[in-house]
């Protein structure tokens, strides 16, 4: 699950302007030119859920992800979300902000699930 959330968050947010501007440029070697480009899953729907609304098992998994993740990784995720007005708007409609985001997951069908932990 940890790998899925981190990988999905990276894929989901790779299309946002903030991340696209900071992404390193790939080297263009003859070998790299012959490889097919990576396919990215398009975000078709966004779901916002607070960790307190998840089942106990999922809450435990999110807590473990939070414990294993570095502060830099969390800041990168939150910054990527801040760079997407549509995601910020979706969060605000749920009473959350990018700083409340603790995890994200993109399904193969294009549903981006953003998990928040609102400060009380």
pTM for this one?
Answer: 0.66
pLDDT value at residue 68: 95
Q: Indicate the domain borders of the chain.
A: 2-20+40-116
Question: Residue 9: exposed, middle, or buried by beta-carbon count in 10 A (0-12, 13-18, 19+)?
Answer: buried
Q: What is the mean pLDDT of the chain?
A: 77
Q: What is the mean pLDDT of residues 40-57?
A: 92
Q: Of 36, 49, 31, 40, nearest to 95 (Cα)?
A: 49
3-state secondary structure of 68: helix
Tell me the pLDDT tens digit for each residue of 67-84.
Answer: 999 999 999 999 999 999
């Amino acid at each position: 699950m940890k790998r899925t959330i981190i990988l999905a968050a990276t894929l989901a947010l790779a299309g946002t302007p903030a991340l696209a501007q900071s992404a390193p440029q790939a080297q263009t070697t003859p070998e790299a030119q012959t490889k097919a480009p990576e396919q990215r899953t398009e975000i078709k729907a966004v779901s916002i859920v607070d960790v307190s609304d998840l089942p106990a098992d999922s809450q435990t998994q999110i807590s473990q992800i939070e414990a294993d993740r570095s502060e830099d990784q969390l800041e990168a995720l939150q910054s990527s979300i801040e760079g997407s007005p549509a995601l910020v708007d979706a969060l605000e409609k749920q009473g959350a902000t990018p700083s409340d985001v603790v995890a994200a997951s993109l399904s193969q069908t294009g549903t981006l699930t953003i998990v928040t932990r609102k400060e009380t």
